[in-house]
Each structure stands twice: as C-alpha cells, then as structure tokens.
Structure 1
Amino acid sequence: MSDEMEAKLQAYLVTRESQWSSPVVHDLRSISVGWESDVYAFDLEHGTMGARQRLPLILRIYPGEVAADKAAREFGGMSLLYRAGYPVPAVHLLEREASPFGQPFVIMDRVDGTPMWRQLRDPDPHRVQALITQFCQLQITLHRLDWRPLVPDPARYDADAYTVVDWELAQLDDWLRTPGLSSYAPVRDWLVARRDRAACPHPSAIHGDLHPENVLLRADGTAAVIDWTQVTVSDARFDLAWTLMVIGCAMGDAWRARFLAEYERLAGAPVEELDYFDVFACLKRLLIIAIVVHQGPGRMGLRGNVLATLRRQEQAMRWVYRRLMAHTGLHVADAERILASFAS
C-alpha cells in the first residue's frame, strides 16, 4: 500500500505546479492512524542539478463528510499562526479536490519530536512541573495572539459579548437534531438558562483540541503544536475547558487540577465561570460519541474505526458523564445506554 501511495504522490507532485522543482518522493510510510486523519511521513528530494535538497515532510489525509473543510481550516489556520511566530510546523500544500487518494490532504513540515504526554511520565517531579508550565504557556500565548487575521469579519465579535456562546449553542442545536439525542436536550437548556455567565470579555484564537499528545517536543526541548483542524476564534475558556476535560478523563482529577492551577498562575488571575464551560465541554464530548454511535464516524469527520477506540475508553467517558452530572444534577438516558453497551 505504501509503495502504491508513494507512486501516486510522486505523480501528483510532478504534474502539479509547486515550490518544488523536479520533486522525488522517498520512503513514504504510515506513522499514525488517528481519529481525524491518516498521517504519513516521507522525504522529498527537490531542486536543480548540483543543488538538490531533501525535506522531511508529513502527508495528512482527512476522511469523513467534512474532510475538505477540515483540511482547509487546518491549512489556513497553521499558515497564519506560522506567520505570527507561533510554534507550528510550516504548511506547504493543500489539496481539496484533485487528490490522488480520493480524500483531501495537506503537506507540512515533519517535526522530529515526541508527544509531551509520554514525557509527563518522567519520574522527576521538577521535570514534570516544567512540562506543565511549558504546556500552559503555549496555550496562554495562543489565547493572547491577535485573533483578527483568523476571521473575515472581526467586527462581529466586537459588537456583542454573547456572539461566541450563541454560535456554540447553535452548534449544539444542530447536533441535537440527530435522531436519538433528545435526552441530551435538558443539558442544552441548562446552558441556555445560564447564558448570562458566558459573556466573552475578549475573543481569542483557540486550538479546539489542545492536549499534551498534540504538543511535540524536540530533543532540545522546544515545542511544536500540531492537529489544528478545530482552530477558530472563540472564548479562551472553551479551549481551556476542553483541554482540562481531556486531561481529566485521561489522567484524573489531580492532573486536571495541576494544569488549571498553572494556567491561572501564568495568566495572573483565576478563570471566571469555568464551571459553565466545563459543562459545555462535557456535553460536546458526549454528543460526539453519541453521534458516532447513532450516525457513524463520517458525520463528525472521523475515521471509520474510531468506535472501537471509544469502546476502549469507557472509563474516560464515565469520568466525563460524572462531571456533567455533578455540575448540573441531570441524567442523560442515551449516555447511560451507551456506557452500558461499552461495558458489555
């Protein structure tokens, strides 16, 4: 399969006008099969005779019904962030329609690094704390970037402090129209009733799925942040709440508390109304799982085998559901049915 894909990529690059002259693809191999994409590493030799160069690159192929939009969002967002000096890999090529693989793809620089999550297992507590600080500083730096280049209409965000939360609520409404999800509606109603708690004091650039697995650390300790399919402009608290939810369900309450404490220390202030955004994050996670179960992974732009992965993460889903119930006092029948099916 890799040889066939390498030949297809070679033919594509030879016939497509790009910044690379006389390109030759070497050593294409799969390195990751994630929720949202297939990731391949390869080397690209290019240049004129006597001045050939070899670049380490990544080919990221997107599945699902919204694949073209995800590819474009990631490419555009990473391009802007790279120009702003934020530590992301440089992106080189976006293909939405003429892909030889039948799915959109992006080509970007390959980072020689390992995910931060693995390094958080270091037995040295000072090393671990330094990693937590590095991670939180990356997120705060992102939240403090000039967000206006990321959207075509920044004035809309400045005009109304509730623009962001209203968009998030509208997305929930869209998901809740999926057959079988009516039992989640009371949680949405809980959020609507407390909408006044979610005024956005200033919009921010957000990652949308920032956690230690999406931070690669090079040998010299410098970081590169990857996986930008959810990049957008929103309230930074949506981003932080999602991060803390992912960390909490994977590592437990104590780790979640450590990351939050360090974020607040570096930010210089406590995060206001975080419980509201915590409920939002938990509901979104449960709805994504429910839509995958009821409609299939393609509806959410995810790989076909993601359901098997979700089944193995039953305890993480239980953590999310317990947290939602603790905040709201609400039970969700469909979530409980899914949890029971995962446990069987």
Structure 2
Amino acid sequence: MELPQDKKVIKVRANKVVYDCGDFVAKVYNATKPPAGVFNEALNLTRAEQSGLDVTPIVEVSKVDGSWSLITKKVEGKTMRELGDEDHERRPELTRQFVELQLDVHKYTNDLMPRQQDKYTRMINSVTEVLDESTRYDLLMRLDGMSNHQNICHGDFVPSNVIVREDGSYCICDWAHASQGDGAADCAVSYLRFKLRGADEFAENYIRTYCELSGTSMETVENWFPIVAGAELARGRVIEKDFLLSWIDIASVD
C-alpha cells in the first residue's frame, strides 16, 4: 500500500511510526517487528470487534515501503490523555471513566483470544539472559497459582489508547497485547505503564479507583506485579530493565 504524500506523523516509537492518512491510520513497523506479530495484532483486533467491543475497524495488513503495516479506519475524536492534558481539573472524572471503561472491557469474553497464562509463560521463559532459572521458576509457580479467568484483557490499557468521540462514546485502539485472563493482571500492567512513565500520582489514583469499582483487593492486583514485570522484560526495553527487576526483587523478599 502507498501512503499519501500529505500523511502526518501521530507518534513515533522504537519499532513503529503511526501516520494519520486522512480517512485511515497506518501503523508502520520497522524491520525488527516479526510479520507474525503484525498479523497477531490484526487478529486480536478482529476478535475484539467480533466480541462486540468498540474498536478501530481494520482495513488491511500490507507492506509500506517494504515494512509491514496495520491499516485501520480513522476514528475522529480526542484521546483521554489529550483531554486530561487540556483540562487538569477533569482528571479525577476522566480517571473514573477510564476505569469504568476498562471494567466494561473485562465483561466481554472470546475463547479465541490468546490465553493470558500461556502468553506470560512464554514471555517469562524467553528472558534467560536477564532472569536466572530459579527466578523464572518462582515467577512461573506464582503464575500457575493464580486463578483462571476468561475476561478479555487489553494488555496496554492507557488513556492514549482510548478515543473519545464528540458524542461521548469510546473507541479503544492498539490491541497488540490482548489476551483472555484475569482483569487484575490487566490492571497491574496499566499501573506498571503509569509508574514507568513517572505518572506516580495518576498511577495511585488509578489503582485505588480500579479496586474500589471492581471490588478487587489491592493485594490481588499486587500479586500480579512480579509476574507482569517478568513478562514485560521480554520486550527488551533497556531503559525499563532496572525498574522491572525491582518489582521482581520485591516479590523475592515477600
């Protein structure tokens, strides 16, 4: 697929560039992204839509200048992050809406989604150069002891992935890390993302609101911290390594 000359860069990440192409959005990956990962994201997006969730409709998976890309229809609106940045006084209200939306996602099921426990097992087993065998075994035993659930979990639920339309409805984008599993693990991942970005105040408000609205104990979410930290190490983001290891170290002295 050839992108229009007047395309605009929406965001740049280590392994991708996202373009606004008018009627559609193109997520163009670099050579480090395996084709299977791109098709898996497209499949997750399709399954989320099939389940009844409001997501960015997929157009195609294709190559752009030799790089794999995921093309979706453009959804007009502003992200929750943009709304919060524009009006700080709205942040408590937006945080609550954000959590309510995440809990709504967790009400959906799709038995074709990847299993969360299988996904985390693969990721933890892959970090042999970062975690020794004993630590990996401990994390896998912790994971094995967690309750099995079949709730759809986004896997990267952050305000920048929620588009708010003018009519107030929501559209959720970026389903690359979706799975079926425990919503408490999904909460732990979101909390981890906020802490990594230095948004400590938002992180604490978020997790308190999640536990309040879901009826989940803080301990239940915290039990997932070392597991999701170990899994996230598989992404190979050097700047996150020490932070993630500190979460695992805390677990080792519990």
Equivalence for 2:9:
30
SS at match of 2:145: helix
| C-alpha distance in structure 1 between counterparts of 2:26 and 2:235, whole Å | 26
Aligned to 1:145: 108
1:170 is matched with which residue? 122
Alignment of 1:115-154 (within 5 A): 115-121=79-85, 122-124=87-89, 127-150=90-113
Shift in Å at residue 57 of structure 1? 0.9
- CA distance in 1: counterparts of 2:41 and 2:222, whole angstroms: 29
2:151/2:182 contact within 8 Å kept: yes
**Where does residue 247 of structure 1 map in the other structure?**
194
Post-superposition offset of 1:88: 1.3
Query: How has the CA–CA distance of structure 1 residues 199 and 268 changed in structure 2, closer, same or farther, with 3 Å as cutoff?
Result: closer
Distance change (3 Å), C-alpha of 1:116 and 1:100: closer
**Alpha-carbon distance in structure 2 between the residues aligned to 1:150 and 1:217:** 25
8 A contact 1:191–1:276 mirrored in 2:
no
Residues matched between the structures, number: 253
Residues 115 and 216 in structure 1, CA contact (< 8 A), matched pair in contact too: yes
Query: Aligned ranges for residues 237-316 of structure 1 at < 5 Å?
Result: 237-270=184-217, 273-289=220-236, 310=239
Cα distance change on mapping 1:193 and 1:91 into 2, 3 Å: closer
Counterpart for residue 183 of structure 2? 236
Q: How does 1:1-344 map to 2 (within 5 A)?
A: 9=2, 25=4, 27-43=6-22, 56-95=23-62, 99-121=63-85, 122-124=87-89, 127-150=90-113, 164-165=116-117, 167-176=119-128, 180-181=129-130, 183-195=131-143, 197-200=145-148, 202-270=149-217, 273-289=220-236, 310=239, 319-329=243-253
The unaligned stretches of length 5 or more in structure 2 are none
- For residues 90 and 288 of structure 1, do their structure 2 counterparts lie closer, same or farther at Cα, with a shift above 3 Å needed? closer
RMSD: 2.9
The whole-number CA distance in structure 2 between the counterparts of 1:209 and 1:324 is: 20
CA distance in 2, matches of 1:84, 1:166: 21
Query: Which shifted more, 137-146 or 74-83?
Result: 74-83
Deviation sequence 1:285-320 (CA, Å, 0-9, x none): 34433xx55xxxxxxxxxxxxxxxx4xxxxx66554
TM-score, length-normalised on structure 1?
0.64
The change in CA–CA distance for 1:258 and 1:232 in structure 2 (over 3 A counts) is same
Q: CA deviation at 1:120?
A: 3.0
Deviation at 1:184, TM superposition (A): 4.4
Closer/same/farther in 2, CA of residues 219 and 195 from structure 1, 3 Å limit? closer
Partners of 1:272 and 1:29 in 2: CA distance: 44
Alignment CA distance shift 1:206-1:64 (3 Å) = farther
User: What fraction of aligned residue pairs are identical, expressed as a percent?
Assistant: 19
Which letter does structure 2 place at the counterpart of 1:170? R
8 A contact 2:15–2:33 mirrored in 1? no
Shift of 1:38: 1.6
- Give yes or no for contact 1:38–1:61 (8 Å, CA) kept in 2: yes
Distance 1:105 1:196 in 2: 35
Report the Cα offset of residue 213 of structure 1.
Answer: 2.1
Unaligned runs of 5+ in 1: 1-7, 11-24, 44-55, 152-156, 158-163, 294-309, 311-315, 331-344
1:279 deviates by 0.6
Q: Which amino acid aligns with 1:172?
A: I
